[in-house]
Amino acid sequence: MTDQTHTIDIGWNFDNSYSELPDLMYTKQDPAPVRAPQIIAFNVPLAEALGLNIEALQSDEGAAVFAGNEIPPGALPLAQAYAGHQFGHFTMLGDGRAILLGEQITPQGKRVDIQLKGAGRTPYSRGGDGRAAIGPMLREYIISESMHALGIPTTRSLAVVATGQPVTRERDLPGAILTRVASSHLRVGTFQYARGAGTTEDLRILADYTLQRHYPDADRGTDGNRYLVLLQEVIKRQADLIAKWQLVGFVHGVMNTDNMTLSGESIDYGPCAFMDTFNPSTVFSSIDSQGRYAYSNQPYIAAWNLARLAEALLPLIHEDEDEAIKLAEDALASFTELYYNHWLAGMRAKLGIFHEEEQDEALIKSLLGMMQKHGADYTNTFRALTLNQPEIAALSGTTEFDSWYTQWQERLGRQEESETESRELMRSSNPAVIPRNHRVEEALEAAEQQGDFSVMERLLSVLANPYAYSPEQEEYAAVPPESPRPYRTYCGT
């Protein structure tokens, strides 16, 4: 390496393709240095997969990079421009506190964004301070890594550094920066922005870029309308993603169009949480007073967001607007069925069912209906069925459940696959643990208030293999102690 300041080779292999997009799509912006960076969370397996030097990153050099105090060789820091519908209202947004260092090309040839979240003000900060507090950044680290372990497409978390500087929220809180890894940060809102602020040519360049990055095979087997294919492919990935959320009881909390990716990864873990008691109208976010982003609304909101993407893409889909609208509407119409089929397939697997029978839907719905009626824990009901311990399910003892259980056993008896195979399918489809709210809060409190990260580390290690059904996971499966108030999450920006 020629640069004398970089004595150790960390393994950075940056490319900066985003900076080749039209100028209106971003602003070059260096992170603002912080006082005393200290690594408080570091993801060794992810660093390895990225081709990075673990030891070097765990030193002061790593802390300096994760804090934005030192720009790694080859990086070209920038803030991305985007817009978005927030709770239904269109707004100009952009990276107000996040800075993209560049795209790391991994040893496997994968291209991933390396982004510092909480790295200082940018031209898109509006009234914000560009900073983040330790709690929300560790929260994103825990939840994103747990989602990944659950097999759900997601952005990931490489590190969190404490900045040594307070951030002012309702009170002063210790500041932190999260290093986020994403297959890209292209959002529905990125297209809304390009459509509104740019020319059709700008929009085409952005769409071509997205196709190349996420759907390189899009041209194959079509009549050549690659932009319609882009829309169709995003619809497919989002249908799959949202079904996966529903199947594990995940509530995102802020499904604004700027928080929905073109890659199909979950992004922007703010006031999100996993549902304990099964209740379709579950809302966690303190700012979602209308329940717009409630659990059962998530598929509808996804479809609504995808319609916003379709609108942005119209000029590329067909030069005749009426024709473009018709093509887009046909594509959007497929979402519901795609989503539902993923969900149904996932539910069959959760019940150990290998093939389709028409009555499966009724069997599934009847279970969910009982769970709702009796306030059963979502994760633990499936866990109890998986462990063949129906007696530990909250529903047990009711005649309704006994009769359902018999029907289910008869259903399993009608398939060729053995009981063992069925149980294996259930084990790989029903997590033994999820990041329960009280466990996450407990970990964050220890970190924030005592500087004790061991609680979080233990939680992370249990969540890293959610389908293991190991003895140490048992205590983490326990439902939260009775609380008089419903659990609320705060944006905590």
Binding positions for ligand AMP, rule: CB under 6 A: 93-98, 124-125, 128-131, 254, 258-259, 268, 270, 491, 493
Q: Is 184 in the site for Mg ion (CB under 5 A)?
A: no
Q: Which is nearer to ligand AMP, 175 or 352 (CB)?
A: 175
Stretch that binds Mg ion, among 124-132, 168-176, 193-201, 264-272 (CB under 5 A): 264-272
Q: Least distance from C-beta 395 to ligand AMP, angstroms? A: 37
Q: What residue 97 binds from Mg ion, ligand AMP, none (CB within 5 to 8 A, per partner kind)?
A: ligand AMP
Q: Please choose, from the candidates 74, 269, 85, the residue with its C-alpha nearest in 3D space to the C-alpha of residue 180.
A: 269
Nearer to ligand AMP, 264 or 352 (CB): 264
Nearest-approach distance from CB 109 to Mg ion, in angstroms: 29
- 265 binding Mg ion? (CB under 5 A): no
Distance CA 351, CA 331 (A): 31
Answer with the entry of Mg ion, ligand AMP, none that 270 interacts with (C-beta below 5 to 8 A by kind).
ligand AMP
Pick the closer one to ligand AMP by CB: 202 or 258: 258
Task: Find the shortest distance in angstroms from Cβ 187 to Mg ion.
Answer: 8
3-state class of 98 per DSSP? strand
**Residue type at 79 in one-letter notation:** A
Contacts of 19 (CB under 8 A, 6+ apart): 26, 28, 76, 78
Contact between 377 and Mg ion by CB under 5 A: the answer reads no
**In this complex, which beta carbon is closest to ligand AMP, that of residue 308 or of residue 374?**
308
- Identify residue 122 by its one-letter amino acid code: T
The interface partner of residue 424, options being Mg ion, ligand AMP, none and the CB cut-off 5 to 8 Å by kind, is none
Measure CA of the first residue to CA of the last residue in the chain; give whole Å: 38
In angstroms, the CA 397 to CA 344 distance is: 27
CB of 39 to ligand AMP, least distance (A): 21
Active-site residue identified among 258, 276, 288, 377: 258
Check if the beta carbon of residue 175 is closer than 8 Å to that of residue 163.
yes
Q: Check residue 259 for interaction with Mg ion (CB under 5 A).
A: yes
| CA 240, chain centre distance (Å) | 13
| Orientation angle between helical segments 188-197 and 200-214, nearest 10 degrees | 160
CA distance 318 to 283: 39
Q: Out of Mg ion, ligand AMP, none, which partner does residue 129 contact, by CB within 5 to 8 A per kind?
A: ligand AMP
CB of 155 to Mg ion, least distance (A): 11
Cβ 170 to ligand AMP shortest distance, Å? 13
Least distance in angstroms from the C-beta of 189 to ligand AMP:
9
Count of chain residues binding Mg ion (CB under 5 A)? 3
CA–CA distance, 271 with 288 (Å, rounded to integer): 10
Residue 268 sits in the site that holds Mg ion (CB under 5 A): yes
Half-sphere exposure of 370 (CA within 13 A, CB side): 20
What does 61 bind: Mg ion, ligand AMP, none (CB cut-off 5 to 8 Å by kind)?
Answer: none
217 is catalytic: no
Taking the C-alpha atoms of residue 160 and residue 178, their distance in angstroms, rounded to an integer, is: 4
Distance (Å, rounded) from C-alpha 411 to C-alpha 218? 40
- The entry of Mg ion, ligand AMP, none near residue 103 (CB within 5 to 8 angstroms by kind) is none
Q: Are 193 and 73 in contact (CB under 8 A)?
A: no
202 vs 268 by CB, closer to ligand AMP:
268
Answer left, alpha or beta for residue 413, where phi above 0 means left and psi between -120 and 50 means alpha.
Answer: alpha
Nearest Cα residue to 490 out of 455, 440, 426, 451: 440
User: Which range, of 65-73, 145-153, 259-267, 417-425, touches Mg ion by CB under 5 A?
Assistant: 259-267
The distance of closest approach from Cβ of residue 172 to Mg ion in the complex, given in angstroms and rounded to an integer, is 24
Which residues have C-beta within 8 Å of that of residue 162, sequence separation ≥ 6?
Answer: 36, 37, 38, 40, 134, 174, 175, 176
CB closer to Mg ion, 42 vs 191:
191
Q: Which residue is nearest to Mg ion (CB)?
A: 268
- With respect to ligand AMP, which residue has the nearer C-beta, 72 or 130? 130
| CA dist., res. 418 & res. 5, Å (int) | 62
Residue 94 binding partner per list ligand AMP, Mg ion, none, with a CB distance cut-off of 5 to 8 Å that depends on partner kind: ligand AMP
| Per-residue tokens: 269 | 């873990």
> If contact means CB under 5 to 8 A according to the sort of partner, which of ligand AMP, Mg ion, none does residue 93 touch?
ligand AMP
C-alpha distances out from residue 490 to 102, 128, 311, Å: 30, 16, 31
Q: Which is nearer to ligand AMP, 93 or 440 (CB)?
A: 93
- Cite the active site residues: 258
What is the contact surface with Mg ion in residues (CB under 5 A)? 258-259, 268
